Amino acid sequence: MDGLARGAEETLERHVFTVSELNRALRELLEARFPFLWVEGEVSGLKSSKSGHLYFNLRDDGASLKAVLFRSYRLNLPFKLEEGMHVLCFGRLSLYEPRGDYQLLVQQVEPLGIGAFRVALAQLREKLAREGLLDPALKRPLPFLPKVVGLITSLYGAAIHDFLKVSLSRFPRASIYVYPVRVQGAQATGEILEGLEVLSTLSDVEVIVITRGGGSLEDLWAFNDEALARAIRACRVPVVSAVGHEIDYTICDLVADARAPTPTAAAELVFPRLEELEETLRYLHQHLHKGLEKQLRLKREKLLALAGRLKSPADKILEQQKGLFHLKRRLALALERAFKTKREGLRLLAGRLEALSPLAVLSRGYSIVCHPGGKIISDSSQVNEGDGVEIILHKGRLKARIEEKL
């Protein structure tokens, strides 16, 4: 051992590297030994620099490797690189000499396993759309003030705490039935389906909420199941889906009657705030009270106006009597004027008639000769000598006999 140590010391003494020389030699060795290669791992510690470069670590269960994606290559990336994403990176190994850090200079990134998931998701979405399951017309309105809500989620995530906290703060009187399930993995879909079936059989449940926090496409895959989509549409009560974050959409979100981006938003969607309801009721009560007061005031004013125009029966009778008396007086005057006019006319006619009357002629010395029967004799041929005649004078009558016709 002592000999080996002395040999090593002698060797090091023969050639002493500076740090820069050693790092440069290691960089050249790495670049020559690993010119280009593919590395699989999970993205962690993702950071973006002001220059647009992405710095992150590729890790697996046992190790971590620094990596950098320069801006020129980042611009050609067809998707957004995210924390926790499982990827394949293509590039070359190099060593950053000033710090002695070796890293992977990434030129190309491919999501591992994402492609198959997305194809399956697109195909299922298209199939459900053809069958009409995504038709907005099928979506049912949520109950305005549900007394009982069914909640399907995990007992161990933040989703249940967020939903319950917001729900009970907004509407403390609500009852929430929680059906615990796994929210990712092979058994998650079956448990969610079972939760839907159990909660929908409870007669007092008015709406069901399915929720969990965000995650990768693989994490959310349990909510992209065809059987789950059909169960949601067949559910007795409306279903709210709050799966993932705002940018994540699953088949469950698309089929549900309502979609919320987060568990908190789902609670706000299902439960109105009690204080807001009470304030609305107070406002409506005041508005109604003022409206009724206004209507009563208008009706009272109208009634008073009508009462002013309305007269008592006695006054009405007296007024009618006055009118009748006035009409009688006018009628009497009219009749008097008519009688006077007629009387004057009659007097004139009588004067004219008297002037034409034979009696008036007789008063001037004339007489009328007639047969004893009263027939007037106007021609001497109407009598014979010896006939008796009657002579009508202005005053009195004479009987004579015809002695001679001339």
236 within domain boundaries: yes
334 within domain boundaries: no
CA distances for 83 relative to 43, 45, 56, 87, angstroms: 5, 7, 9, 11
Please indicate, yes or no, whether residues 9 and 61 belong to a single structural domain of this protein. yes
Which residues have a Cβ under 8 Å from the Cβ of 311 and sit 6 or more positions away?
A: 319
348 within domain boundaries: no
Pick from 272, 289, 310: which residue ends a domain? 272
Please indicate, yes or no, whether residues 108 and 122 belong to a single structural domain of this protein. no
Q: Which of 404, 403, 402 is nearest to 390 (CA)?
A: 402
DSSP letter at 184 equals S
Please indicate, yes or no, whether residues 102 and 141 belong to a single structural domain of this protein. no
Please indicate, yes or no, whether residues 90 and 199 belong to a single structural domain of this protein. no
User: What integer pLDDT is reported at residue 341 of this predicted model?
Assistant: 87
3-state secondary structure of 74: helix
350 within domain boundaries: no
310 within domain boundaries: no
Pick from 97, 112, 127: which residue ends a domain? 112
What single-letter amino acid sits at 372?
A: P
Domain assignment of residue 6, given as a range: 2-112
Please indicate, yes or no, whether residues 96 and 153 belong to a single structural domain of this protein. no
Burial of 6 (0-12, 13-18, 19+ CB in 10 A): exposed
User: What integer pLDDT is reported at residue 266 of this predicted model?
Assistant: 93
Please indicate, yes or no, whether residues 55 and 123 belong to a single structural domain of this protein. no
At 169, which CATH number?
3.40.50.261
227 within domain boundaries: yes
Which contiguous run of DSSP H or E holds residue 5? helix 2-14
User: What integer pLDDT is reported at residue 241 of this predicted model?
Assistant: 94
Please indicate, yes or no, whether residues 262 and 143 belong to a single structural domain of this protein. yes
Please indicate, yes or no, whether residues 183 and 255 belong to a single structural domain of this protein. yes
Token couple for 398: 């004479």
What single-letter amino acid sits at 185?
A: G
Q: Count the domains in the chain.
A: 3
Please indicate, yes or no, whether residues 98 and 170 belong to a single structural domain of this protein. no
At 65, which CATH number?
2.40.50.140
Question: What secondary structure, in 3-state letters, does 97-155 show?
Answer: CCCCEEEEEEEEEEECCHHHHHHHHHHHHHHHHHCCCCCHHHCCCCCCCCCEEEEEECC
161 within domain boundaries: yes
Classify 359 in phi/psi space as left (phi over 0), alpha (psi -120 to 50) or beta.
Answer: alpha
Q: Which of 175, 277, 191 is nearest to 228 (CA)?
A: 191
Rounded distance between C-alpha atoms, residue 42 and residue 360, angstroms? 155
- 241 close to 269: Cβ distance less than 8 angstroms: no
Please indicate, yes or no, whether residues 148 and 105 belong to a single structural domain of this protein. no
Tens digit of each residue's pLDDT, the chain (406 residues):
454 455 555 555 677 888 888 888 888 888 788 888 999 998 989 999 999 999 999 998 889 899 999 999 998 876 778 888 888 999 998 888 888 888 999 999 887 766 656 767 887 889 999 999 999 999 999 998 899 999 999 999 899 999 999 998 888 888 999 999 999 888 999 999 999 999 999 999 999 999 998 887 778 889 999 999 999 999 999 999 999 766 668 899 999 999 998 999 999 999 887 667 677 777 787 788 888 888 888 888 888 887 777 767 777 787 788 888 888 888 888 888 888 888 888 888 877 777 666 666 677 777 888 988 778 888 888 888 888 888 888 778 888 888 887 7
Pick from 251, 272, 293: which residue ends a domain? 272
The count of other CB atoms within 10 Å of the CB of residue 287 is 10
Please indicate, yes or no, whether residues 256 and 124 belong to a single structural domain of this protein. yes
351 within domain boundaries: no
What single-letter amino acid sits at 15?
A: H
Please indicate, yes or no, whether residues 46 and 59 belong to a single structural domain of this protein. yes
3-state secondary structure of 243: strand
